Structure 1
Amino acid sequence: MEKQTITIYDVAREANVSMATVSRVVNGNPNVKPATRKKVLEVIDRLDYRPNAVARGLASKKTTTVGVIIPDVTNMFFSSLARGIDDVATMYKYNIILANSDENSQKEVQVLNTLLAKQVDGLIYMGHEISDNVRAEFSRSKTPIVLAGSVDPDEQVGSVNIDYVAAVEEATARLIKTGNKQVALVTGPLTQPINGEYRLQGYKQALAKAGLAYDESLVFETEASYHAGLGLFKQVQKSGATAAIAGDDELAVGLLDAAIDAGVKVPTDFELITSNNTKLTEMARPQLTSIDQPLYDIGAVAMRLLTKMMNKEDIDAKTVRLGFDITARQSTK
C-alpha cells in the first residue's frame, strides 16, 4: 500500500483548528494557546506529519539549507572542518547539502550552480583556490558565502582561517634552529594563494631572518595525497634537504614512510613538520610534529559567520583569524 502524504490540511481538519494555527505550532510561533498547541502536536504525532521543507521554502523564500563545497571528502582536513560546520548548522536548525568538487575548477562551477539552483540560503566553500570562474559566480550570486580554512587574498568573500604566513614562518624557524641549513617546503600548487602567497612567504621570511638564501630547488609542488609524498621523497633527499615542511598531513605521512623505507632515520637524519594536525599525526610512527590549526573551530566559526550574514546581522569582520600552535611530537628533534 502506498503511503499517503499527510498535509497540513489533514492536521488542521483532525485537530479542528485553522491551517494558520498548525503553521504557527510547526514554526514555533508563541501566539498559540498551550492547550491548542498540545492538541495540534498530538495530531501531528499520530498522523506522522512532516512539514514539506520545499513548500515552506517557497512561502518564506528561505530553505534553511546551506550548501557546503568540499574539495575532497576523504581528506581528514576537510572532514574535521565539516564536523564543526555541521554541529553549528544543527544548532541553528539549518540542513546541509554536501558537494564534492574534486579541486577541479570546471566541477566547482557546476557544483556551485547546482547548489544555487537548489535555492540554498548560504554557502560554505572549502577549496584551496578561488578560480576566476568561481569568483565570477560568487559575485553574480546574491547568496552569502564564507570560506572555511581557505583564503581570499582580495578579502571580497568572508573567510575563517589561521595566519598561514606566521604558522609556516614559525615552523621553518624551528627546523633552522635545530641545525638544518636546507629546509624543503613541500606543498600544493603555488598557483593556490594559500601556498604561493602565504606559506611561501612565511618560509621565505624565516630563511631571511636566519640569514639563509632562498633556494627555489627546495620548493616542491605536488598534490595533497599519501602517494604524492611517497613518490616525492627521493627528490627531496636529492635536493640536499635535511628537513621538510609538508602542506598536508597525508602528504607528510607519505614522505615519512618513504624516508623510513629508504633507511633514513626520522628525526635524526631528517626532520618533518606537517600542517593540519589531523588524527593522522598521532597514527604515524614516529608521530608527526604539526602546526595545530583548530579545524573544528574553523568550521564552527565559519558556519556561525554565515548564519549572521544570512540573517543580515552586524558583522565585526569578514575575515576571521583564529590562533594556532605548533604541537611537537617525534618527527622533530
Structure 2
Amino acid sequence: MEKQAVTIYDVAREAGVSMATVSRVVNGNTNVRSETKDKVEAVIANLNYRPNAVARGLASRKSTTVGIVIPDVTNIYFSELSRGIDDVARMYNYQIILANSEEKNASEVVESLLSKQVDGILYMGNIIDDRLREELDKSNVPVVLSGSVDLKNQKPSVNIDYISAVQEITEKLIASGHKKISFISGPLNQTINSDFKLKGYQNALEDAGIEYDEDLIFAGEYEYESGYQLGDEIRDSGATASVVVDDEMAAGVLNYMTDNNVKIPDNFEVVTVNNSHITLMTRPQLSSVIQPIYDIGAVSMRMLTKLMNNEELETSEVLLAHGYAKRESTKN
C-alpha cells in the first residue's frame, strides 16, 4: 500500500492549530507565540512533514527557483561555476533548475525555464545572439550573465578581464623568446573568443612588434579530443608555443606534443586560461591564468538574489581579479 504524503492539514490537525499558523511557522514568521511554535515544530518533526515548495510558491507568487543555462554540463569550467551558484542559492533558500543548452538552442532553453515560473535566470553561454536577447528582454524576471560576456552590456555580468588575462600570458611566452605563438580557441563566432581572448593575444603581439599571423589561429571545440586532433596542424604551422582558452583543449595539445616526442617546455610551451583541476592532472602540469571560477558563480548568484528582491546593485558589471600559476608547461 502506497504511503500517503503528510500534508499541512495533517500537521495542523495534530497540533490543534490552524493551517495558517502552520504556514507561518514553516515560513519563519515571527508573529507566532513561542509555545505554539515549539508545538508545531515538534509535530512537523514527528510526522516528517516536508513543505511543498510549489504550493508555497503559488501562495507567495514566487517559485523560489532559479534557472541556470549552461552550455555543456560535462565541461569542468561550467561545473565549477555551477558549484558556486548552488552554494549561494542554498544560503538564500533557492532551488536550482539546470538546463543544458549545447550552445545551439539557448533561446528555447530560456523559454522553457520561463514556462516553469523561475524567479530569475543565470546565463553561462558563450553565444548571445539577437534571438536570445529578445527572449531575455521580454521575460519579466532578472537575468545575470555568469562567466559570459555581451558586447551590448544589457544585462548584469560577472567575469574576469579576459583581454588582460590572455595578453599577460602571451607576453610571458614572448618574454621566453617565442615569435610564433599559436592561439587555440573554441569557435571564433563566440564573442568571448573573438572580441576578448583573441584581442588579448593580438594586443601582446602588437606591443612586442610581432606580426599577427592567421595561420597560427586554430579553432575547435572545448574538448580534450579537439585539442589533441589540432596537434598536427599546430606542429606543422611552425608554432613553438600555444595559448589555449580551455583546459581540456590544452590537455589535448599537451598530450599530442608529448606523444610525438616534443619536449615540454624545452621545445614547446603550453599555457591555458581556466586553472581548473585538470591543470594539476596533466604531466607536466599546465601553467594557467588563475580564474576565481567558483567565486564568479557565487557572486553572480548573489547579484541575482538582490535583483529578485528588488534591491539596487552597486555595479552591473563585476570584474573579479585574476592571477597566474606558473607550472611545468612553461619556462616563465
Tell me the TM-score normalized by structure 1.
0.97
- The residue correspondences of 1:103-142 to structure 2 (distance < 5 A) are 103-104=103-104, 106=105, 108-142=106-140
Q: CA deviation at 1:173?
A: 0.5
SS at match of 2:144: strand
For 2:156 and 2:145, locate their aligned partners in 1 and report how far apart those are by CA, in whole Å: 6
For 2:32 and 2:64, locate their aligned partners in 1 and report how far apart those are by CA, in whole Å: 23
Structure 1 runs not aligned, ≥5 long: none
SS at match of 1:217: helix
> Aligned residue for 1:95?
95
> Aligned residue for 1:9?
9
For 2:116 and 2:278, locate their aligned partners in 1 and report how far apart those are by CA, in whole Å: 35
SS at match of 1:172: helix
SS at match of 2:96: strand
Deviations 1:86-129 (A, max 9, x none): 1101111111111111122x2x2222122111111111111111
Q: CA deviation at 1:288?
A: 0.3
Structure 2 runs not aligned, ≥5 long: none
Tell me the matched-pair count: 331
Deviations 1:142-201 (A, max 9, x none): 111111111111110111000000001001100000000011110011211100000111
> Aligned residue for 2:59?
59
Q: 173-182 vs 108-117, which deviates more?
A: 108-117
Amino acid at match of 1:212: I
Q: 124-133 vs 304-313, which deviates more?
A: 124-133
Amino acid at match of 1:21: T
Amino acid at match of 2:264: V
> Aligned residue for 1:304?
302
Amino acid at match of 1:59: A
For 1:171 and 1:142, locate their aligned partners in 2 and report how far apart those are by CA, in whole Å: 41
Query: Hey, which bits of structure 1, 4+ residues long, moved more than 2 A?
Result: none
Q: CA deviation at 1:300?
A: 0.4
For 1:103 and 1:3, locate their aligned partners in 2 and report how far apart those are by CA, in whole Å: 43
Amino acid at match of 1:300: A
For 1:131 and 1:275, locate their aligned partners in 2 and report how far apart those are by CA, in whole Å: 24
Candidates 198, 205, 211, aligned match of 1:207: 205
For 1:42 and 1:112, locate their aligned partners in 2 and report how far apart those are by CA, in whole Å: 41
For 1:153 and 1:216, locate their aligned partners in 2 and report how far apart those are by CA, in whole Å: 23
For 1:197 and 1:162, locate their aligned partners in 2 and report how far apart those are by CA, in whole Å: 14
For 2:69 and 2:139, locate their aligned partners in 1 and report how far apart those are by CA, in whole Å: 15
SS at match of 1:273: strand
SS at match of 2:230: helix
Q: 310-319 vs 12-21, which deviates more?
A: 12-21
Identity of aligned residues (%): 56
CA RMSD of aligned residues (A): 0.9
Q: CA deviation at 1:31?
A: 1.0
